[in-house]
Structure 1
């Protein structure tokens, strides 16, 4: 068999069992020691879980549901994208946290220690400088910020990327997968030690800040803002855009985001939905009383990502793989602006594989409307 580093597989078959069998055929290589997959929540998840477990019974498998899948063939929907990692280049360990609620620094430290021991036992390369973390979290858990902060403190500088599981239908049905079963309110933490050069990175396309809005009434736990500037939140946001509340929806949210300023940088806090009964706004990320949300003007979404990937390729050479978590609202913007063909070309050129998420993770921070990823160098297989 040809020596490989990674293999990326894609199936658009609608039947869960047939799709998983197609993924298995594409990933059928003796060197594969770990599989990461992203799937549409439109599949029968119990059927998919059973089939994946039976087909890959001797390989550890982790994954999550999505708000869209990303492959070298372009952005997908109602499909499965999977990546197989060779044991010759990657030492990978993974652990399921069945409930993110109450996950504290001690839990995080124990998790990191166990993952490190498992990676070290495979002895490909020293853990310290050749390792990154991937996180897959339930995207409707409301626990991401606390979980990621605890994990990042325990990780002691290990770079970290990831995404929150998405769903295809009405902001529901989000799951993570670990060794034969889908879970809700759960997390999968993956440690990857590799011989390949890599860089964890993120990219957004904020151009400049405009008007400021103060959160004056909120339920922080549910991330629901009732008032902005002491006015009903949806009314105030609609006023900002010169729109009616009835005109607000996902595409409007994607094109007109709000952001918070932290350490001199703006981070988007994307709106998830309007609650028509009380004109409140529910967000994908944490919001709290008194924070200032700033309306931001967006730059060219394609140029910002292309420039970042070009910069990485100049530094590391041709990619073996770019593992991607890209916000679902960025996907909506791409579709609204008819940029699918250009994105497909970019995905193909840089070997991008991943999913559209309900939130992105970078070094302990939970973000929205961002592309986060791991650029894994390697180029042609040796």
Structure 2
């Protein structure tokens, strides 16, 4: 079993870090943002990325960000939990400050998700590339990646991400769907000075620092297969599995009565679609009174879903973080999008404290999501992100 202690801690003083981080648990928006600004602001600050709980009054939070970072562009989203310098948190705001001498960040807001076609995506990518090219921090090829933040309840993730990926070409991308502390009511992204729903933020990052975009999960296939035989595609509801009510078939699969179906069981017993040699999870959101199952990802009539089982999350995460460190060296920072169902599973198993400590020691900052995006795919129950290494010896930084 991998030993988490073999991962090298990276104590980077806030005053010298190329990527500063800040956390606030203060309930008052103005006080919380002032605390963030105290830790983030310096003469070379070029951009702020944040993740926050929906417990904050969002209009007041917008005003606070606009006042505290008047000349600094800010983007972010609401979360289903935060990943902070101290590990997992809830009811907080965590933020990353990017040094403009090492990072050029170009944000864009996509407001009409349904109308986001390939010509729109190509124009957006060309605009972002042009803005990054103006600073010329590093050649765009091989030195740029894209972060996507989407309204987690918009049901548009698949089409938006696939379309964007086609326009990006070889530029890697990752991201997460905004959450709302597991309420499943209303999620938000932040750009251009305010919060938005039914929208996405596309953030292009150009840097001379080494980085790696990655995705991993802890799930392994079982032998059981379920065929989607009736579906309401627009609402992501599966009506039938194997020509029987979906709820009844799934309950039989996990060996539980229908009345016990809920988030904890869905997290422990997910379903996945196989594409090539890889399995991509299609997580269940809820069981409905009409016998259907609502999913977080798009589902199509006729697809075959494979029952999955969990391997230890902690072990899988140690292996992932160790591999990143071996390839990049001790990271400046890892920006992580961690599915909220993974965190729920850890809490059920009473393993969340150990993983929280691992994330803290590995310099992971991010949020718990309602879905992750990776190279044009919308997926569930993964840990997806970018690891950013330290400056190369060639003096590029």
TM bracket (short chain): over 0.9
**Structure-2 residue corresponding to 1:132:** 145
Q: Would you say how many aligned residue pairs link Structure 1 and Structure 2?
A: 380
Give the alignment of 1:334-345 within 5 angstroms: 334-345=346-357
CA distance in 1, matches of 2:184, 2:162: 24
Deviates more, 1:75-84 or 1:9-18: 9-18
Which consecutive aligned stretches of 4+ in structure 1 deviate over 3 angstroms post-superposition? 1-4
1:36-69 CA deviation, whole Å, 9 max, x = no partner?
0000011101110111111111000000000000
Contact 1:7 1:27 in 2 (8 A): yes
CA distance in 1, matches of 2:22, 2:168: 30
Q: 2:160 aligns with which of 121, 126, 147?
A: 147
**Structure-1 residue corresponding to 2:5:** none
TM-score in terms of structure 2 length? 0.93
Question: Residue 250 in 1 paired to residue 254 in 2?
Answer: no
Contact 1:210 1:297 in 2 (8 A): no
TM-score in terms of structure 1 length? 0.97
**Structure-2 residue corresponding to 1:64:** 77
**Structure-2 residue corresponding to 1:47:** 60
CA distance in 1, matches of 2:44, 2:359: 25
1:202-240 CA deviation, whole Å, 9 max, x = no partner?
010122322111111111111011111111111110011
**Structure-2 residue corresponding to 1:325:** 337
CA distance in 1, matches of 2:381, 2:158: 16
CA distance in 2, matches of 1:98, 1:170: 23
**Structure-2 residue corresponding to 1:123:** 136
How far does residue 169 in structure 1 lie from its aligned partner after superposition? Answer: 4.8
**Structure-2 residue corresponding to 1:359:** 371
How far does residue 339 in structure 1 lie from its aligned partner after superposition? Answer: 1.5
**Structure-1 residue corresponding to 2:293:** 281
> Secondary structure at the residue paired with 2:166?
helix
RMSD of aligned Cα (Å): 1.4
CA distance in 2, matches of 1:245, 1:11: 41
Question: Residue 194 in 1 paired to residue 194 in 2?
Answer: no
CA distance in 2, matches of 1:296, 1:226: 20
Q: 1:223 aligns with which of 229, 236, 243?
A: 236
CA distance in 1, matches of 2:87, 2:225: 36
Question: Residue 13 in 1 paired to residue 26 in 2?
Answer: yes
CA distance in 2, matches of 1:363, 1:130: 16
**Structure-1 residue corresponding to 2:389:** 377
**Structure-2 residue corresponding to 1:297:** 309
Structure 2 unaligned residues grouped into runs of 5+: 1-13
CA distance in 2, matches of 1:169, 1:269: 17
How far does residue 348 in structure 1 lie from its aligned partner after superposition? Answer: 2.0
Question: Residue 349 in 1 paired to residue 366 in 2?
Answer: no
